[in-house]
Amino acid sequence: MADVLFTNVRIFDGGGEAPFTGDVLVQGNRIARVVKTGYGARSAPIAGAQVIDGAGAFLMPGMVEAHTHFSWNDQPSLDAIQRMPPEEHILWCAEVAKRYLDMGWTSCVGAAAAKPRLDVVIRNAIADGTIVGPRYLAASQEITVPGGLGDTTQPHLPQPEFAFGAVVSGVEEMRRCVRMFVKYGVDSLKINLSGESITGMPSEMSQFTEEEIAVCVQEAKAWGKRVAAHARSTWSIKQCVKQGIEVIYHASFTDEEALDMLEAKKLEHFIAPGLAWLINTCHNASEWGLTPEVTRKMGYHRELDAAVESMRAMRRRGIRILPGGDYGFAWTPHGTNAKDLEYFVKYVGMSTMEALLSATAWGGPMMRMGKVIGYIREGYLADILLIDGDPLADITVLQDKARIMAVMKDGEFHRAPPVRLAHTTRWAA
């Protein structure tokens, strides 16, 4: 693996300060040196290193996606996702993983798989180099109750293998389910604590008992696994805090008590609201029968308003909000994930700096890699993006693949910079 020296770049290092002009040296899979220089200046050359003269381009850490469903197949329903045969489904996941890395997402947190081992297989294939993709934390299927979100079985097809989620009832079934997914090799357990209006169960409805939730968390922690929850309702959010569920997806409906609970333990939880799902379901899904009139009757417009207010309140309280918008439906296709950062600015009131931090510095702890990813710092893994443009001036540039000039993961280029920017040094060190 050749050394790489990025010179003449504007460095956003993930620390929250304004970018500075400088150089970044990569040796192996680590950032070896970060140097501030004047524009047009260069560090001393490194013998044999590939030099990338960024000509003022924006250099930033690779991004972290906190709510990832590689196995959602850009279709308009859970049924259409679940019906994809496993052979085609694994190929689909591999293609989507590459799509994420193409767009600068160098790490992703799985938020549920459509089949028991899809996430595990993809994670392992990425890790051993069989396929290309972001480093990945693999999730279980969604754990749900009979009739809950994810239970797609029918009276004439009651077999669990026909269900989108893993259906349990009672503490012992929950215990067995968690242990089964641990056996399969997942990094996290996904539990659906609230409803989802598109399935006929109101988002404000909560379906598990406290005892069932407690067993899920106890078993997961006993095996060193994380729990993540689909939690739109106020009660479900409070249960996440009470039971120690680290990752909270959606968190749309809050009250003062829920916000106070989250704020008191804000370093123990991550919120990934999935605003892209709500915004696009309300306004951009008419082609699939979800007109604004239909989605208003379903309650999604009211939920969107509630979610925006909840996220604004969380931002004011310093609660970590991360990108991950439930991408993978027909109206939220994979690869458009950077829209989340635009939505954070437009709807939540974040500055562009905050939006970038949510996708970089805050993503390190979300990946349980807080000391090695999320920053451009010496000793950190070399996950680096080179951008044609300034996301701090226009956050939408990260939605344009053509503006992402280079993607480096673990010290290796997934997408190499244009030839005009690169050459190899021939000077002595």
For 199-256, write each residue's pLDDT tens digit: 777 888 888 999 999 999 999 999 999 999 999 999 999 999 999 999 999 999 999 9
Spatial contact of 249 and 194, defined as CB atoms under 8 Å apart: no
Q: What is the band of 335 on the pLDDT scale with cuts at 50, 70, 90?
A: very high
pLDDT tens digits for range 72-82? 999 999 888 98
Is 71 found in the same domain as 22? no
Total domain count, the chain: 2
Whether 429 is in a domain gets the answer no
Q: What integer pLDDT is reported at residue 162 of this predicted model?
A: 64
Q: Give start and end residues of each alpha helix (H) in 156-233.
A: 171-184, 210-222
* Closest of 80, 105, 83, 74 to residue 328, by C-alpha: 74
Is 68 found in the same domain as 55? no
Tokens of 389: 């443009």
Tokens of 130: 């069989």
Return the exposure string of 32-42: e unless at least 16 CB atoms fall within 10 Å of the residue's CB, then b. bebbebeeeee
User: What distance in Å separates the CA atoms of residue 179 and residue 191, rounded to the nearest whole number?
Assistant: 14
Is 76 found in the same domain as 209? yes
Spatial contact of 238 and 261, defined as CB atoms under 8 Å apart: yes
pLDDT of 426 over the 90 cut: no
Is 343 found in the same domain as 332? yes
Work out the average pLDDT over 291-306.
Answer: 97
Q: What is the band of 42 on the pLDDT scale with cuts at 50, 70, 90?
A: low
Average pLDDT, the chain: 94
Residue % of the chain over a pLDDT of 90? 85
User: What distance in Å separates the CA atoms of residue 176 and residue 179, rounded to the nearest whole number?
Assistant: 5
User: What distance in Å separates the CA atoms of residue 116 and residue 228, rounded to the nearest whole number?
Assistant: 16
List the CATH number of the domain containing 267: 3.20.20.140
Give Cβ neighbours of residue 319 (< 8 Å, ≥ 6 apart).
262, 263, 266, 269, 271
pLDDT of 414 over the 50 cut: yes
Is 285 found in the same domain as 190? yes
Write out the E strands in 84-200.
105-110, 135-137, 139-144, 166-167, 188-192, 194-196
Whether 120 is in a domain gets the answer yes
Where is the domain boundary, 319, 349, 366? 366
Question: What's the predicted TM-score (pTM) here?
Answer: 0.95
Q: Which of the 8 DSSP states describes residue 345?
A: I
Angstrom CA distances, 261 to 234, 292, 313, stand at 11, 34, 13
Is 187 found in the same domain as 311? yes
Pairing status of strand 247-250 against strand 226-231 = parallel
Is 308 found in the same domain as 166? yes
pLDDT of 10 over the 90 cut: yes
Where is the domain boundary, 366, 392, 409? 366
Which residue type is seen at 142? Answer: E
Whether 44 is in a domain gets the answer yes
* Closest of 32, 21, 20 to residue 382, by C-alpha: 32
- Hey, CA dihedral for 301, 304, 308, 309, is it positive or negative? positive
Where is the domain boundary, 316, 340, 366? 366
Q: Which domain holds residue 336?
A: 63-366
Is 141 found in the same domain as 281? yes
Residue showing tokens 């990832």: 68
Is 198 found in the same domain as 88? yes
First to last CA, the chain: 18
Is 189 found in the same domain as 258? yes
DSSP helix/strand/coil, 101: helix
pLDDT tens digits for range 345-373? 999 999 999 999 999 999 999 999 999 99
Q: Which of the 8 DSSP states describes residue 62?
A: P
pLDDT of 374 over the 80 cut: yes
Whether 169 is in a domain gets the answer yes
Is 126 found in the same domain as 180? yes
- How many CA atoms lie within 13 Å of 22's alpha carbon, on the beta-carbon side? 16
Cβ burial of 179 (10 Å; 0-12, 13-18, 19+) is middle
Q: For 208, list phi and psi in degrees, rounded to 5.
A: -90, 155
List the CATH number of the domain containing 24: 2.30.40.10
Spatial contact of 243 and 191, defined as CB atoms under 8 Å apart: no
Is 299 found in the same domain as 169? yes
